[in-house]
Structure 1
Amino acid sequence: MNELLYQVPEFYSLYNYRRQVIEQIFQALQGEDAAEKKVSLLQSELRLNTSILKRDFKVYGAFSYRHWVVDQWMKVAEEDATALAALLTALEKEKENCRLLLELDARNFHSWNYRRWALLQLEKANEIREKCNKENETAPPLTGFFLPDEEAELSFTVEKIQSNFSNYSAWHQRGYIVRKALARRGSSTQTDKEEVIPSLWRVISDDFKYLLQSIFCDPNDQASWCYAGFCFELFRQFEEGFLSYYASQSSLHTDDDESTALLHQCHGDIRDAFVQATVNLIREQKALQEDKECFLPYYFLLNEILQLRQTVQAGDSKDGQRLQRYVALLPEVLEGAEGLDGVIASLQSHLVTVDPYRREMYRNLYQQTP
């Protein structure tokens, strides 16, 4: 059976058969050494699975089976301290294995998904260890917003993004880590929010820098524009705290590069700074006569303008001021863009012209927003 799986890694039925066999073996194991034997069997399954993934590292069935093996190990670890220690070691190795797979293909979403899942299992295993050792009764409360493993993962994503700005999975992983940390805080008090603002600002300001590098390298790469939407969402959620924190750090601000200079110019408002950067990008594309091939910057601006108009109609005065700033700014690069309706029509006209395959989507987007 091992050789058959090695030769035909996509043989899904064989994975299911192995599951059934192992479940039967587990039920038959009794005695003090049952946990040890179960761990030994699961370790051998991981070794077999590793040999399969070395042969083809994009097999759904192999990754699914690897999930199942670790899940079974987790069940054993809940009842046996030795199995738990072995599991913690194995999960650390799983992180390293994913890193090696991503060295082969940095955009392998199978590896990214499995790495994300393995990190969750590592967190669960550590919770079991703390419960067993009763560390939860004596350990001091966490003071940092991000856990050490999350900080390490953020650094890992930076490495992958800087080697390839079009790495969707790396951008997604950054957003996932931030959302996970926010969810862990739950319904935080105002004091809690003030404590986490510096950590969140560090991430979002770094993201702003990477996004600028990305959109100027390839204006039509979707990965960075998609992630920019997440950054805008995060900034809206903590806008007051971000702006206050940026102002309090004014003596430390420098204009060492374009990103920090733009932030300084916009007083720390990342939404304003990114829109200004997008306008600068369009201006540069026009100067190089490459604007006829450029559509994502225009789509991003159109989407932002339409969203702002909706919130203004709902009574948001701050967004009303922001919308006025953008409407005043965009005629610099949009011909015939006078007033809000003119800006929207000009953006839509450009998109329909340069991206005709999606022209009906652009027309529908414009028409459905009153």
Structure 2
Amino acid sequence: MHDQKKEKRVLIPEEQEAAAREHERVGALYKSVLASHKAHEYNANTLASTEALLLVVPEAYTAYSCRRLALEAVAASQPCAGATVTDTETSGVTEDAAAAALATHRQKWLVQELQLNSKVLLLNYKNYCAFSHRHWIFGQLVDLAALEMQQAAGCATGTAEDGTAPGTYELLRSLLRKEREQCEQLLKLDERNFHAWNYRRWVLEQERRATRLVATHAPSLLAPADDTRQPSASADPPFAFFSAEEAAELEYTAHKIKNNFSNYSAWHHRSLALQSAVARWQRQQAQAGAVGTGGEAVEHEQAGRAALLAQLQEDVDFLKQAVYCDPNDQSAWFYAPFVFQLLRSQCLHEDEEAVSLEHSFMNAVVELVAEVDRMGAEDECYLPYYFLLDQLVALPAASLERHITAAFAGAVPGSKSFIAFIWCVPATTLIAYRATRATLISRTYAPPLPPPLSPFSSFDWHAFFSGL
């Protein structure tokens, strides 16, 4: 836990002696590993010493590097030791058998290494070195699966004919599925554990990598799955703005956010799924524009914007609930500017639904500010003020002029609306804040907060919002 003082327990003499012996043993292991690494001696003894060291000191990052080199050296030498002269003089069938034996051997020690790494992570699951080593293990499995597929594609009898994937690929898919399930189990216990979120995101990328591997070397393995999803080959597939994986991730993050609005990692992962869908849709639009324009392309664009707008409507509903549940929690305020930046960039400015969606949240925040003002808690709840001011000065000049014109045309300062908020903002305040924001803020999608010693630290927020 953070901000928790660690108290050292006084050891009795027997415990002190045992600790001294353990320190001496660990020191000897360290010296052995460093000596092997310095002398470039990588063998079975190196594997034994690094394993013993990592089970005691999981953060010994040099041991991971030394162990990887030792694993490669031992794996390369053992098959050669078992080879004979007869093996090298046999036909291609025997060579295939030897290659299969080599793949099985590498597969075996990679699984054993994965099991050891799991033991190390149980000692400290926030160990960056151990997770990096785990990435390397799966990278080796991916390379081995790719090699097997290449060999099978070059043979007369391979994956294309018998319809089965190589053993390493099946093992890889099974292990990745298990990794994702374990991450989700951990997130049930600790839903804000960003280590688990990051690793789960990496596992999803490896699953996509494995799918691309099959599509490249054994596309016939993907055909049955496609046939089950599509009722007929002649029928056009329905338009889907989000892929199956993106839709699943949006559903998963929605579940996590409903359980706890203050889940920064869930909001962030949700933004990545939206960005992935938008990027793919933009590429499709660019390709359609390069080929030519037509009614089908226009319908595709309209369907994409409608799907995105519907999804952003759900996100805005989440944001409203989050800011009303806890206005001082920053997670929703970090995510809100991303939603509206996406809304303004992808949906047409003339789209009444998009404008109405944006104004609905702005008006909800203004209502929240008015409620805070009535309660006299503006000193304790400042994030809504910063968000509204930041969104206001971020408006383009033409858009800001339209809002101000509309305010003078028919808005009443006492009405609880976003127009009323614009009504009571002095022009000098907008200019000053815009200049300060441009020099101090490198904006991503998080709402900038003025530093403690900024010119706004003594700003009279009560007077600023007195017209609401």
Displacement, 1:201?
2.6
| Kept after mapping to 2: 8 A contact 1:63/1:110 | no
Displacement, 1:53?
2.2
Q: Which residue of 2 aligns with 1:213?
A: 321
Displacement, 1:324?
5.2
Q: Which residue of 1 aligns with 2:116?
A: 48
1:154 paired to 2:154: no
Compare 117-126 and 192-201 and name the one that shifted more. 192-201
Alpha-carbon distance change, 337 to 46 in structure 1, aligned in 2, over 3 angstroms: same
Q: Which residue of 1 aligns with 2:401?
A: 320
Q: CA–CA distance in 2 between the matches of 1:93 and 1:163?
A: 24
| Kept after mapping to 2: 8 A contact 1:73/1:83 | yes
**Equivalent of residue 87 in structure 1, options 165, 172, 181:** 172
1:291 aligns to what SS in structure 2? coil
Displacement, 1:346?
11
**Equivalent of residue 12 in structure 1, options 53, 58, 61:** 61
Q: Which residue of 2 aligns with 1:175?
A: 271
TM-score by length of 2: 0.63
Displacement, 1:54?
2.5
2:336 aligns to what SS in structure 1? helix
**C-alpha deviations, 1:274-331, integer Å up to 9, x for none?**
11111011111122222221111111111111111xx21xxxx445324656896887
Q: CA–CA distance in 2 between the matches of 1:6 and 1:272?
A: 57
Gaps of 5+ in 1: 247-266, 349-354, 364-370
Alpha-carbon distance change, 360 to 148 in structure 1, aligned in 2, over 3 angstroms: same
1:358 paired to 2:452: yes
TM-score by length of 1: 0.79
Amino acid at match of 1:54: L
1:127 paired to 2:234: no
**Equivalent of residue 238 in structure 1, options 346, 353, 360:** 346
**Equivalent of residue 105 in structure 1, options 164, 182, 190:** 190
1:60 paired to 2:145: no
| Kept after mapping to 1: 8 A contact 2:327/2:383 | yes
Displacement, 1:147?
2.1
| Kept after mapping to 1: 8 A contact 2:144/2:168 | yes
Q: CA–CA distance in 1 between the matches of 2:187 and 2:323?
A: 23
**C-alpha deviations, 1:229-273, integer Å up to 9, x for none?**
1101110122229947x5xxxxxxxxxxxxxxxxxxxx7622211
* Greater C-alpha Rg: 2
Gaps of 5+ in 2: 1-49, 81-97, 149-165, 227-232, 289-297, 435-448, 458-468
Alpha-carbon distance change, 181 to 286 in structure 1, aligned in 2, over 3 angstroms: same
Q: CA–CA distance in 2 between the matches of 1:113 and 1:240?
A: 34
Displacement, 1:356?
9.0
**Equivalent of residue 300 in structure 2, options 181, 192, 204:** 192
**Equivalent of residue 341 in structure 1, options 419, 423, 427:** 427
**Equivalent of residue 281 in structure 1, options 368, 387, 395:** 368
Q: Which residue of 2 aligns with 1:204?
A: 312
Q: Which residue of 2 aligns with 1:164?
A: 260
Alpha-carbon distance change, 11 to 341 in structure 1, aligned in 2, over 3 angstroms: same
Q: CA–CA distance in 1 between the matches of 2:107 and 2:171?
A: 8
Alpha-carbon distance change, 202 to 94 in structure 1, aligned in 2, over 3 angstroms: farther
**Equivalent of residue 377 in structure 2, options 258, 265, 290:** 290
Let me know the Cα RMSD of the aligned residues: 3.4
Displacement, 1:103?
1.9
Q: CA–CA distance in 1 between the matches of 2:167 and 2:67?
A: 25
Number of aligned residue pairs: 332
Alpha-carbon distance change, 127 to 279 in structure 1, aligned in 2, over 3 angstroms: same
Q: CA–CA distance in 2 between the matches of 1:306 and 1:49?
A: 51
